[in-house]
Amino acid sequence: MRFGRSRRIALTAIAAATAVALAGCGGLSGGGPSASGGSLAEAGNLEGVDYIVGGKNFDEQLVLCEVTVAALEAAGGNVTPRCNLGGTDVARQALLSGDINIYWDYTGTAWASFFKETQRIPDDNELYRLVAERDLQENQLVWLDKASFNNTYAFAMTEAKSQELGITTLSDMANHIRSGQPGSVCVETEYNSRDDGLRGLQETYDFQIPEGGTQVLATGVIYQATADGRCLFGEVFTTDGRIPGLKLKVLEDDKKYHVTYNAAPIVREETYNQNQAIREVMKPISDALDYETMLRLNGQVSSDGMDPRQVARDWMTEQGFIG
């Protein structure tokens, strides 16, 4: 999926991909007048600081990138948008190399993919503290305040089937499969092959999918296949905008198996030190981006076909962040 949680790409290949992406993506952020006014203009004056704002290549990241562009513009910064760079490895390398100096990433991505840690940290605040401290010490990267929404792995079924079968948690799903009742489980290739994916899920919830009961599908296909009834249970990502659009029900991970993926803006330390008021400018945005809000904004892009720049600025205007 978009987080690239287990990719093994050589740094030279990443650097080449980053260069290509940066050369070709400058116009991918929608044009128009700069943001101004609103409460963010009062939160801090970032005049004179150059910000190159990056982002990954999926709907949520496009929205977060455009939100950041508007926020920094409203606070007086000199902003160059570089949204839609590519996957996790490309965006991360762009930040490390200085080709960009701010973008959003996820605590779980840093913990599992960047730092290769396998220990489960159930407390989201502790996980944030650990990755923020380590990234600052090892890479001179500053994590600003995190948002509360958690874009992690999950399983979903249609709202109708959830209600019909009385299944609302992963324990309920495990009981259903354990009892031998019909219904396939659809997962993407990576989740199917990882120790901390489907295998670990079955161990944690003490069930075993029978032979022929698993379908391995492309990530984007699983949502529609679940809605159409081809999959009783489909692996999804919790803030994907197709969930409400297709009337899917996300099952509660009642044993807290999946790693937390809270998003936060990450800034190069040299950029952060030019004006640390950026933390105060971005904090109200992180505070406002709860699960329901992120789900709604993502849905406006993925289900309604709206432009991410427009979605971001409409929401920020509604919140009074920009004028």
Look up the CATH number of the domain holding residue 216: 3.40.190.120
For residue 323, is it within any domain?
no
Residue 166, by phi and psi: left (phi above 0), alpha (psi -120 to 50) or beta?
left
Domain of 83, CATH number, reads: 3.40.190.10
Asked whether 235 and 153 are in contact (CB, 8 A), the reply is yes
**8-state DSSP, 38:** S
Task: Please check whether residues 133 and 194 belong to one and the same domain.
Answer: no
Task: Please check whether residues 224 and 183 belong to one and the same domain.
Answer: yes
**Cβ partners under 8 Å of residue 86, min gap 6:** 17, 18, 21, 56, 57
**8-state DSSP, 250:** E
Residue 136 confidence (pLDDT): 98
pTM for the whole structure? 0.83
Q: Kindly give the parts of the chain with pLDDT less than 70.
A: 1-31, 33, 36-37
Task: Please check whether residues 136 and 270 belong to one and the same domain.
Answer: yes
3-class DSSP state for residue 217? coil
For residue 288, is it within any domain?
yes
Task: Please check whether residues 141 and 162 belong to one and the same domain.
Answer: no
Task: Please check whether residues 182 and 93 belong to one and the same domain.
Answer: no
Euclidean distance between CA atoms 73 and 52, whole angstroms: 11
Task: Please check whether residues 38 and 129 belong to one and the same domain.
Answer: yes
Asked whether 281 and 145 are in contact (CB, 8 A), the reply is no
For residue 2, is it within any domain?
no
Beta strands in 19-63 (DSSP E): 50-56
Domain end residue (candidates: 250, 283, 299)? 250
Comparing CA positions, the residue from 216, 256, 232 lying closest to residue 167 is: 232
**8-state DSSP, 154:** E
Question: Can you give the residue range of the structural domain that contains 55?
Answer: 11-150+261-318
Q: What is the pLDDT of residues 12-48, one digit of tens each?
A: 344 444 444 444 444 345 567 677 668 998 899 999 9
Residue 149 backbone phi and psi in degrees, to 5: -70, 150
Query: Alpha carbon 273 to chain centroid distance?
Result: 26
Task: Please check whether residues 243 and 143 belong to one and the same domain.
Answer: no
Euclidean distance between CA atoms 259 and 115, whole angstroms: 14
Residue 36 confidence (pLDDT): 67
Euclidean distance between CA atoms 132 and 163, whole angstroms: 40
Task: Please check whether residues 242 and 273 belong to one and the same domain.
Answer: no
The amino acid at 65: C
3-class DSSP state for residue 35? coil
**Cβ partners under 8 Å of residue 30, min gap 6:** 66, 307, 308, 309, 310
Task: Please check whether residues 24 and 103 belong to one and the same domain.
Answer: yes
Q: What is the pLDDT of residues 146-180, one digit of tens each?
A: 999 999 999 999 999 999 999 999 999 999 999 99
Comparing CA positions, the residue from 253, 250, 249 lying closest to residue 160 is: 249
Domain end residue (candidates: 226, 250, 274)? 250
What distances in angstroms separate CA 180 from CA 32, 154, 208, 209, 214, one per listed residue?
57, 22, 10, 9, 14
Q: How many CB atoms lie within 10 A of CB 56?
A: 28
For residue 114, is it within any domain?
yes
Q: What length is written for the chain?
A: 323
Residue 106 backbone phi and psi in degrees, to 5: -120, 145
Residue with tokens 């069930």: 207
Domain end residue (candidates: 224, 250, 276)? 250
Euclidean distance between CA atoms 129 and 127, whole angstroms: 5
Residue 10 confidence (pLDDT): 37
Task: Please check whether residues 209 and 121 belong to one and the same domain.
Answer: no
For residue 76, is it within any domain?
yes
For residue 26, is it within any domain?
yes
Domain count, the chain: 2
Residue 117, by phi and psi: left (phi above 0), alpha (psi -120 to 50) or beta?
beta
For residue 286, is it within any domain?
yes
What distances in angstroms separate CA 37 from CA 45, 70, 302, one per listed residue?
12, 10, 29
For residue 5, is it within any domain?
no
Task: Please check whether residues 39 and 183 belong to one and the same domain.
Answer: no
Task: Please check whether residues 136 and 274 belong to one and the same domain.
Answer: yes
